[in-house]
Structure 1
Amino acid sequence: MSDALQPNRALERTPMRPEGAKAVRPRNAATLFIIRRDGPKPRVLMGKRHGGHNFMPNLWVFPGGRIDRADFRAPAATDLRPEVAGKFEAYMPLTKGRALGKAAIRETWEEAGLLLGRPAEPRPIAGPWREFLEQGVQPDLEALSIIYRAVTPPNVGKRFDTWFLMADAERLVSLERQPDCGELEEIAWFELEEALELPLPTVTRAVIQETRERLDNPNRPIPYMRFRMGPARPREL
């Protein structure tokens, strides 16, 4: 296993599966790597998790989280680009791929107070999308690309099948964080080398390192890291 994928359990405080217990089924999740290109070097949006969390406290992460049933029903201003839709369809119904994209956009609003969307008439809707849609925008799925997928090892007590998506910051409604919104303790833009100096989860570090290469070669294969018992087995999507 490469150093980039060697888990640091002490840092991440990952709850382990009790000995003899069955492996937990991974939950579907999505996270958003937002890249900003208006400076001398590209910068990425990172947020710091609160120290009170029992899972990865005080670590810097990309905004994201698990899929919600409401993500299947929420409206969208645009659709996934064909090449992105095709990657999702190789593994799941396209409705679920769209829901993962919307989950990443919704979580970015909830955790970082930033809107990735296009102007639209406000729609009254109950549930987790209410505040997002009240801003007069709908999610911009066309802005998304896939850069990584990782499934948490089976010996961990809390597991996720996470799709790492990327969007350009110019597709945000504003670079200014809503003052009354955002679950992350703080957010900031970091050059990629600066981001790698932060306390990071193992997979976040691997995604940043992969993205450095992808910026020079956008046609690189997309890594699919699925941990089983023993070393990780890198594949391609």
Structure 2
Amino acid sequence: MPKEIELPEGFVPPEIPDPPATPRDSATVMLVRDGARGLEVFLIRRVAGMAFAGGMTAFPGGSVDLRDADASVAWHGPEAGWWGERFGVAPGMARALVCAAVRETFEESGVLLAGPDAESVVSDTLPYAGARQALVDREVSLAGFLADAGLVLRADLLRPWANWVTPVAERRRFDTRFFLAAVPSGQRADGATSEAADVAWCGPTEALDDWKQGRRGLLPPTWTTLAELEDCGSVAAAMTAERAISKQMPRVIREGGVLRLVVNGDPDYDRAADHLDPGPDDRLEPR
């Protein structure tokens, strides 16, 4: 994790929550495609006023909804137990995470990882625009939408990638499982969501260069996954990459008047507390 990554203003509250907030289970999906210069990833710049990570660049994703655990969902691909082994959770939670990944991707990008049967994928999502909004408004569940539309969730189009947990110093915490998926042929990702200030397809190197130049804000998990994708070069290489997933639980450390995160394996990780203990003339906010 480069030392240049500093936590944004207000990321850490003036007073550390005691007890810490319980992380909410969530899923995020790195949508990728092969562009003229290699692998590209779909990025969303979050609306500045959002309560969590406002103004930051991220991937489509969000919290698990209770209805994401509906076991009646039509499903093709690795079973829930397989996903549970990869992410270290029970099969029921694994099913909910996969459903949340598919639902949030559809809501926030318009890309639908589903098809009429186990051998096909929707090529045009425009007929499902009404269902997309109904999902956003929580008027329908993913399982209900797929059943009404005669579609099957294509879990085989997803790959498990990583698992990050928000530090205990943050008021809003998430236990986020990262997935990888290639955009199905014929579909296009869009920015038709109230959570996006703008969207773009970028090569990982381009996105990291934008961060270096101050044109994008990246939280450590996003920076790390972009750096990992940078090593892949193509969708095929990314989708077949061997991934050993361990839960990353960053800690906050103060250095030179600013705050940054350190992750498992960082030389400073063991000496970084799960909370900060500021002196009488010190502050928790980055300077």
1:156 to 2:187 alignment: no
Going from structure 1 to structure 2, the CA distance change for 1:63 and 1:178 (only over 3 Å counts) comes to closer
Q: CA deviation at 1:44?
A: 0.3
Give the corresponding residue for 1:193. Answer: 205
The aligned amino acid for 1:224 is K
Q: What's the CA shift for 1:174?
A: 1.2
- The alignment of Structure 1 onto Structure 2 pairs a total of residues equal to 227
Q: Is 1:223–1:234's contact at 8 Å kept on the other side of the alignment? A: no
Cα distance change, pair 47–135 in 1 and its aligned pair in 2 (3 A): farther
1:77 to 42, 65, 75: 75
Show CA shifts across 1:21-69 (max 9, x none).
Answer: 2111111111001110253310001112112213222221100011111
Q: RMSD in angstroms over aligned alpha carbons?
A: 3.3
1:51 and 2:48 aligned? yes
**What CA deviation, in whole Å up to 9, does each residue of 1:108-151 have, x standing for no partner?**
1111222121126x99x953438953665342111111111111
| Residue matched to 1:86 | 85
Aligned to 2:111: 114
- Alignment partner, residue 256 of structure 2: none
Q: CA deviation at 1:84?
A: 4.1
- Aligned letter for 1:190? C
Deviation string for 1:77-131 (max 9, x for gaps)?
A: 313268645313xx221121121011011011111222121126x99x9534389
Unaligned 5+ segments in structure 1 are none
Pick aligned residue for 1:144 from 150, 158, 177: 158
Alignment partners' CA distance in 1, 2:102 and 2:26 = 12
Is the CA contact (8 Å cut-off) linking 1:29 and 1:67 kept in structure 2? yes
- 8 Å Cα contact 1:110-1:183 kept in structure 2: no
2:92 & 2:4 partners in 1: Cα distance?
31
User: Which one-letter code corresponds to 1:98 in the other structure?
Assistant: R
Instruction: Answer yes or no: is 1:31 the counterpart of 2:32.
Output: no
Q: What is the TM-score when the length of structure 1 is the normalising length? A: 0.80
Establish whether residue 213 from structure 1 lines up as the match of residue 231 from structure 2. yes
SS in 2 for 1:193: helix
Asked if 2 retains the 8 angstrom alpha-carbon contact of 1:48 and 1:185, the reply is: yes
CA contact (8 A) 1:109 1:132 kept: no
Partner amino acid, structure 2, of 1:189:
W
Structure 1 position 209, deviation (Å): 0.8
Taking the aligned partners of 2:107 and 2:65, their CA distance within structure 1 comes to 13
SS of residue paired to 2:53: coil
Aligned residue identity for 1:127: V
Structure 1 CA distance for aligned equivalents of residues 4 and 27 of structure 2: 19
Letter in 1 for 2:7: N
Letter aligned with residue 223 of structure 2: R
1:233 matched to 2:264 = yes
| TM-score normalised by L of structure 2 | 0.67
On the 8 A contact 1:28/1:161 being kept in 2, the answer is yes
